[in-house]
A and B are shown apart, each in its own frame.
Chain A
Amino acid sequence: MQSLYVDADSWMHRASPRLKLGALAVLGVALFATTDLRILAATLLAGGVLYLNVGMTWREALRRLQPVLLTIAFVTLFSLLFTPWHEAAVTVFRLVTLTLFAATLTATTTIAAFVDEITWAATPLERIGLVKAADIGLTVGLVVRFVPEIVGRYAAIREAHEARGLKIRLRTVLVPLVILTLRDADNIAAAIDARGIRRH
């Protein structure tokens, strides 16, 4: 699985992930606190400049945001039917700005850095016994490792259907997929414990 990180060297890449995440959170709150179109337009412009300079081609940059921007466009059209244009404009500016900054952060922060930040944020929860912070990295690794396996298993089940001349139906595909996948859990858990990965 290819992450959305863009391997380049901009000052956004060099900024500390914790600082970037904090800034994004502050921005998110601030954007919803103002309705001044000039301020919103200026922030939108800043976000656009920032996002287009993280080292992607413009084509790739736009392709990534397409689904989110389409959703925003759809909701804006919908809200234009019922609310005055000024209010609709404020909403679309806010959402697009937030999207641009968020996408910039995703493009300039590695998965490892994110996992480190989440682990750090989870440490207080560990102290009250809710989670083991180190489990987060382990889980992310597990999922990334097993997705291709499950896709391969799905293809095998599909072929088995075709070989028997059966119609491919959600239920008859999903049941063996779920059972075959979850049956591995005991072995994987035993392997993790045998290596002492979760001791502490």
Chain B
Amino acid sequence: MSTRDLVLSALFAAIIVALGLLPPISLGVIPVPITAQSLGVMMAGVVLGGRRGAVAALIVVLLVAIGLPVLSGGRGGLAVFAAPTAGFLVGWIFAALVTGYMSERLVKPEQSNIAQGVGFFIAAVTGGVVVLYAFGIAYLAIAANIGVSKAFFGSLAFVPGDLIKAVVAALVGRAVMAGYPLLPQRS
């Protein structure tokens, strides 16, 4: 990894951490304020691509493990990994990887705005919802010993919020691609 790539990943990890420190922002569509950290993970994928995005998420997970309170609400430390929801944290790495990889595949600079937006949205949903929930639900089912189907239905309540985050990530991805393109291309 070049120094520049390492720095980009570290800076994006810092953005994800900072998003957890900010006061929650209301989205307008739903009245519930959201914590923006999982949005940050999707953004890491759409902005930096698979490899660098995954490294950014990996850095955040590492910071949690070594005892820095970097998750929203000042959570951190190894105790976070003992929670039955730890799969949703470790899954961030793979969520960013898949979001980024699909973005590299689906989105080209010469496409129309709408095509780019749709491409980023599909990438963010696949990585940030499908892949992330696969990890989260699998670990929840094992750690809490409640079985896959119950873990699945218990997690469904969070899907609408995450879909809205995917829309925001797609809009951000498109705007950053226009303003300061970083996404590697893959055909």
Contacts and interface: CB of A to CB of B under 8 A. Distances in A.
15 contacts: A4-B67, A75-B144, A83-B145, A103-B77, A105-B78, A106-B67, A106-B78, A106-B79, A146-B14, A173-B25, A174-B172, A175-B172, A181-B12, A182-B47, A185-B8
Interface stretch (A8-16, A37-45, A52-60, A94-102): A94-102
Interface of A: 1-5, 24, 64-65, 67-68, 71-72, 75-76, 78-79, 82-83, 87, 90-91, 95, 98-100, 102-103, 105-107, 109, 111, 114-115, 118, 131-132, 135-136, 138-140, 142-144, 146-147, 149-151, 154, 168-171, 173-175, 177-179, 181-186, 188-189, 192-193, 198
Contacts of A90: 145
Interface residues of B, number: 62
B28 interface: yes
A104 to B, nearest CB: 9
Contact of A114 (B25, B67, B146, B168): B67
Contact of B176 (A67, A87, A132, A178): A178
Nearest to B36: A170
Interface of B: 1-4, 6-15, 17-18, 21-22, 25, 27-28, 36, 39, 43, 47, 59, 62-63, 65-70, 73, 75-85, 140, 143-147, 150, 154, 168, 171-172, 175-176, 179-180, 182
A112 B139 CA distance: 30
A138 B146 CA distance: 41
A192 B3 contact: yes
A3 B82 CA distance: 19
B103 to A, nearest CB: 14
Given A143-B59, A178-B15, A182-B12, A171 B79 contact: no
B15 A1 contact: no
A5 B3 contact: no
Contacts of A143: 10, 13-14, 17, 59, 63
A58 B11 CA distance: 36
